[in-house]
A and B are shown apart, each in its own frame.
Chain A
Amino acid sequence: METIISVKNLVNRFGSQVVHDGLSLDIRRDEILGVVGGSGSGKSVLMRSILGLQRPTSGTITVMGQKIEYHKPGPSRCWGVLFQAGALLSDLTVQQNVELPIALYSNMPLETRHELASLKLLMTGLSLTVADKFPSELSGGMRKRVALARALALEPKILFLDEPTAGLDPIAATEFENLITYLHDNLDLTIMMITHDVDSLFGICDRIAVLVDGGVVVGTLDEVLDSDHPWIRKYFGVPRALRARQAGGRP
């Protein structure tokens, strides 16, 4: 399988606190990789390092063959990011938020730009009645959908999702998961997803990366479940995880 993101010997240290200690991780093309870990295990730091938003203490990261350097322009055409709280620009309307990256990267006619942005909103299950609203006028779930539409605006190959279902009610969370699977199946997307939602872990992830002890245990669900690391056993042993496991993956 082709490796699309490769993290080698990543070390992240904040003062005396070691977050990553020689972490290596490969993300393969067309997979959905779920990233889990306890608080402070460095899930977000890993994602921010890959995105070039954080200067790692040492280690190399390559995304689609391009080396990532801190605050240097990365392959921003190839990736879309859904931040945890959406990170929509608050002084632009929903439509303008989605149009902004399109306008920056293409000189297509204005009308096509409007239509493409509307299309992305529709694809994420939004009605165009929200197009002229401001992010502050939307509910949390809608904001996430708009943020996803923005992340998809440039036809990315890789999608980073930071807790996509956090703060959503079970119905909305399930819909959002279905949406992600649907997009993944239809758009040849590689997805890296930080999540604490065991349902999404069991339901939609191809592989799971568990961040423990500054490193990572990565594998398919069964492989990770077989791990005898105490934290992993505990994580997948809590009642809600067991229930999700029994429920199995959604089709």
Chain B
Amino acid sequence: MSNAFLSVENHPDRQIANVRGHWIFDEIPALEQATATVLPNPDQVVVFQCAGLEEIDIAGAWVLYDRTQQLSEVGIKSEFAGFKAAHFKFLQHIIDAAAIREYVEPGRRPPRSKRIRETVEKLGSHTTELIEDLGAIARSVLEGTYKPSLYMVGETIKQIYLTGVQAIPVVVVITFLIGIVTAHQAAGQLGKFGASVLVVDLVSISITREMGVLLAAIMVAGRSGSAFAASLGVMKLNEEVDAMRVMGLNPHQMLVIPRILGLVIALPILTIFADIAGIAGGALIAVGNMGISGLQFVERVAYSTDLTDFYVGLSKAPVFALLIAMVGTLRGMQVKSSAEELGLKTTMAVVQSIFMIIVADALFATLFTHLGI
């Protein structure tokens, strides 16, 4: 038996394996095949004759050593001969290292009962963590109202700019387009009854009561909810939050409250912009496509929609803002160890805040219907 790396000579009492060539990392699969040709035979001692070896690195030495280990497991002795000093040092090294080898099988699944217990424990600790975090924020809010710092005011204004002012263009564009879409759909259906003019009612009521605030909130959840989670998460990873703590600053007051406060102020303002843009979108279709005059449109809006509708929409904005900011900042503060966790928490922040916005909206709708508003 022979190949480029190893040839075997059989003698009555020993088996001589002539090792030659380049025993290096790149050749590993072939090296393993080569060592496999050294077969265990109870009557023979295996001698690895290494005089022909040109180059060996740790990976190659490992393959050689590993085979001697396998042989010794079935009771075959093996020895090395003809090693150049440099090569031998290598192998000695491997042998030293392997002597303390305690190979662990990676990724063994724990038994089911343990997994269930761990899941329940995790659920419990997550819940208590959430309650603790909420409590800490609430306490910071209280402390902050006793002695508000100038820093918080500045930071809040910055957040209003980042989450509110900068979001105006995109919110205006999408609600304008949704206004157009709603008007088109309504025109098709209401036109069948010859009640085209009611399109104006439908657009202005649905935009002011529901669509304007909802679209603005969802947009902000995507924009700012993720930004909150990501930026706070990175600050946690960089130990910036810990740095604040040891300086005696309250990270909740410095980071969380300005974001919550900023968004609670910004979202209602965005909602006003959204309402105006949505109605303008409806107006474009009504005036441009349906032959309703501008004056008629304004008159109809004023007749069908009163300030209550507008306030109903607007009243939801601070609640949605609170949900977005709370979820975003909480998730951000929960980041502890890794970049992967950061991504996960950011995703959770967006998904959960949008989910909660819609749940809250449904509750609001039920509430307002019962109250008859």
Instruction: Say if A and B assemble together.
Output: yes
Spell out A's residues near B (CB within 8 Å). Answer: 90-91, 93, 95, 105-109, 112, 114-116, 118-120, 122-123, 127-129, 131-132, 134-137, 152, 154-155, 186-187
The 8 closest A-B pairs by CB, nearest first: A136-B337, A91-B340, A90-B338, A108-B28, A122-B97, A155-B57, A155-B25, A90-B339
Chain A neighbourhood of B338, CB < 8 A: 90-91, 134-136
- Interface stretch, picked from B74-82, B100-108, B266-274, is B100-108
Q: List 10 A-B contacts (CB under 8 A).
A: A95-B106, A108-B29, A112-B32, A112-B63, A114-B103, A115-B66, A122-B100, A129-B102, A154-B25, A187-B57
A132 close to B104 (CB less than 8 A): yes
Complex Cα gap A118–B101 (Å) = 8
Chain B nearest CB from A128 CB (Å) reads 5
- Supposing A106-B25, A106-B28 touch, asked if A128 and B102 sit within 8 A by C-beta, the answer is yes
Chain B, residues 7-31, CB within 8 Å of chain A (1/0): the string is 0000000000000000011101100
Chain B, residues 84-120, CB within 8 Å of chain A (1/0): the string is 0000011001100110111110110000000000000
A127 close to B32 (CB less than 8 A): no
Beyond A105-B26, A155-B57: 11 further Cβ-contacts under 8 Å? A91-B338, A91-B340, A108-B29, A112-B32, A114-B106, A122-B100, A122-B101, A128-B103, A132-B104, A132-B106, A136-B337
A-B pair count, CB < 8 Å, reads: 80
Residue of B57, B62, B340 near A115 (CB, 8 A) is: B62
Chain B neighbourhood of A109, CB < 8 A: 29, 32
Chain B nearest CB from A171 CB (Å) reads 20
Q: Does B59 contact A (CB under 8 A)?
A: yes
Complex Cα gap A127–B339 (Å) = 25
Q: Does B58 contact A (CB under 8 A)?
A: yes
Complex Cα gap A61–B88 (Å) = 35
Chain A neighbourhood of B100, CB < 8 A: 122
Residue of A108, A112, A119 near B97 (CB, 8 A) is: A119
Chain A nearest CB from B103 CB (Å) reads 6
A155 close to B106 (CB less than 8 A): no
